[in-house]
């Protein structure tokens, strides 16, 4: 078997994005501008929500979602996540409470949420793992019964669905456009909600606490007037990056269909190996496959990962160590037993997946997988 070079992810960026960036550069309007508005309108239509606000990152969107909603108490969040989820809670002045996940879905466990709720709980932050939505109907029911807010960390799940409803369309949603995500602007994020007051406050907080944007002020009678109604930040996305987002949104359905094609071939090829476990979507849930992950016996995980990488396969791990095993966060409150998180984090492998992968690339990864003697 000849060696190939297959990276974990390759962004699907073409001439359309390059031309859009050049157009913005030529216009001279490189800060927040008309492309931000266009990107937000596309996003609202795609998710079927009332409001979308472009941001410089998903982390910023998560932080401002909490701040705009006035959340300073406990926020339930899975320990099986990137540290950005927890950092946003801390940055907002709230208290993260770490809870467990389900092995099959890799998503936050509803039972663990119930275990973690206390009189101090104010919100739940589900993290939709790898493109598969968490059990939002159950989470929303729990939240409504107990008067809690829901902030969806949808960084990895643009295009996922549950019975037609998308992550980020329930209460507050936060998205990432990092190069590994289903669409990219290089760096960037989006906040979504159906709450007009929340959207207005997030937009203001993201722009130094000023209630009008530079683009809006430019067409006002006195464009030089800038009034800050509260303390804020500079969490805005530039017009340049928004232009890339506009072009990415035009082809999102095709790119997600390509990811689903790759995932199906992986499942067809790898499901015959009894010692691995593929992420499962139950009835009604549609996976957008931002990542394709498998669980292997943890006794061989690290050696197997190095073997794949030695064969030119850009396999990785998301996430090990989990948050509660990292030095800075080890003393955070735990709302439930975290044994599933610990087992999954030591067993999981992320395989290459991106729209440009062809069947030959997927076949090579699968053949290399099957050739590892300790797996069989």
Per-residue pLDDT of the chain (376 residues; tens, 9 = 90+): 567 899 999 999 999 999 999 999 999 999 999 999 999 999 999 999 999 999 999 999 999 999 999 999 999 999 999 999 999 999 999 999 999 999 999 999 999 999 999 999 999 999 999 999 999 999 999 999 999 999 999 999 999 999 989 999 999 999 999 999 999 999 999 999 999 999 999 999 999 988 766 555 555 556 666 777 888 999 999 999 999 999 999 999 999 999 999 999 999 999 989 999 999 988 899 999 999 999 999 999 999 999 999 999 999 999 999 999 999 999 999 999 999 999 999 999 999 999 999 999 999 999 999 999 887 7
Alpha-carbon distance 259 to 290, whole Å? 8
Helix 252-270 vs helix 239-250: crossing angle, to nearest 10: 60
CB 190 within 8 A of CB 55: yes
> If one looks up domain 15-251 in CATH, what number appears?
3.40.640.10
Alpha-carbon distance 334 to 312, whole Å? 39
Q: Which residues contact 116 (CB under 8 A, 6 or more apart)?
A: 76, 97, 99, 335, 336
Query: Which helix or strand (DSSP H or E) is residue 158 part of?
Result: none
Q: Could you tell me the pTM of the whole model? A: 0.95
3-state secondary structure of 193: strand
Catalytic-residue membership of 251: no
The second-level CATH assignment, the architecture, of 253-375 is Alpha-Beta Complex (3.90)
Nearest CA among 111, 43, 118, 9 for reference residue 74:
118
3-state secondary structure of 26: helix
Catalytic residue among 4, 44, 120, 181: 181
Task: Identify any residues that bridge with 152 across adjacent strands, giving them in sequence order.
Answer: 173
CB 337 within 8 A of CB 101: no
The owner of tokens 């955070």 is 332
Q: What are phi and psi of 313, to 5 degrees?
A: -100, 120
Alpha-carbon distance 226 to 212, whole Å? 8
Alpha-carbon distance 216 to 200, whole Å? 14
CB 69 within 8 A of CB 118: no
The tally of CA atoms less than 13 A away on the side-chain side of residue 207 is 26
Range list for CATH 3.90.1150.10 in the chain: 253-375
Alpha-carbon distance 199 to 314, whole Å? 39
Range list for CATH 3.40.640.10 in the chain: 15-251
């Amino acid at each position: 078997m000849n060696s190939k070079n297959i990276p974990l992810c390759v962004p699907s960026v073409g001439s359309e994005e390059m031309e859009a960036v050049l157009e913005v550069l030529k216009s001279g309007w490189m800060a927040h501008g008309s492309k931000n508005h266009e990107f937000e309108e596309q996003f609202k239509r795609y998710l079927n929500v009332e409001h979308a606000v472009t941001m410089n990152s998903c982390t910023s969107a998560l932080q401002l979602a909490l701040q705009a909603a006035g959340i300073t108490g406990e926020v339930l969040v899975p320990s099986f996540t990137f540290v950005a989820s927890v950092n946003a809670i801390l940055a907002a002045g709230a208290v993260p409470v770490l809870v467990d996940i389900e092995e099959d879905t890799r998503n936050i466990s509803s039972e663990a949420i119930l275990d973690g709720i206390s009189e101090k709980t104010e919100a739940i932050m589900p993290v939709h793992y790898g493109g598969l939505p968490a059990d939002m109907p159950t989470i929303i029911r729990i939240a409504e019964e107990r008067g809690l807010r829901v902030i969806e960390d949808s960084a990895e799940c643009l295009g996922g669905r549950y019975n037609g409803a998308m992550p980020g369309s329930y209460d507050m949603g936060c998205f990432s456009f990092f190069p590994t995500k289903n669409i990219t602007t290089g760096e960037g994020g989006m906040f979504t909600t159906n709450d007009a007051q929340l959207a207005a406050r997030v937009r203001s907080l993201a722009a130094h606490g000023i209630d009008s944007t530079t683009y809006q002020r430019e067409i006002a009678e006195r464009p030089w007037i800038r009034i800050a109604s509260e303390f804020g930040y500079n969490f805005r996305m530039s017009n340049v990056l928004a232009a890339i987002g506009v072009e990415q949104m035009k082809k999102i359905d095709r790119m997600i269909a390509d990811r689903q094609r790759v995932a199906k071939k992986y499942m067809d090829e790898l499901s015959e190996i009894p010692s691995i476990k593929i992420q499962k979507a139950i009835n009604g849930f549609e996976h957008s496959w931002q990542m394709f992950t498998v669980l292997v016996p943890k006794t061989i995980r690290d050696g197997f990962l190095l073997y794949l990488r030695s064969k030119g396969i850009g396999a990785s791990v998301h996430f090990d160590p989990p948050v509660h095993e990292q030095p800075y966060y080890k003393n955070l409150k735990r709302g439930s037993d975290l044994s599933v998180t610990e087992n999954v984090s030591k067993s999981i492998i992320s395989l290459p997946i991106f729209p440009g992968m062809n069947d030959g690339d997927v076949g090579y990864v699968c053949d290399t997988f099957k050739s590892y003697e300790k797996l069989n």
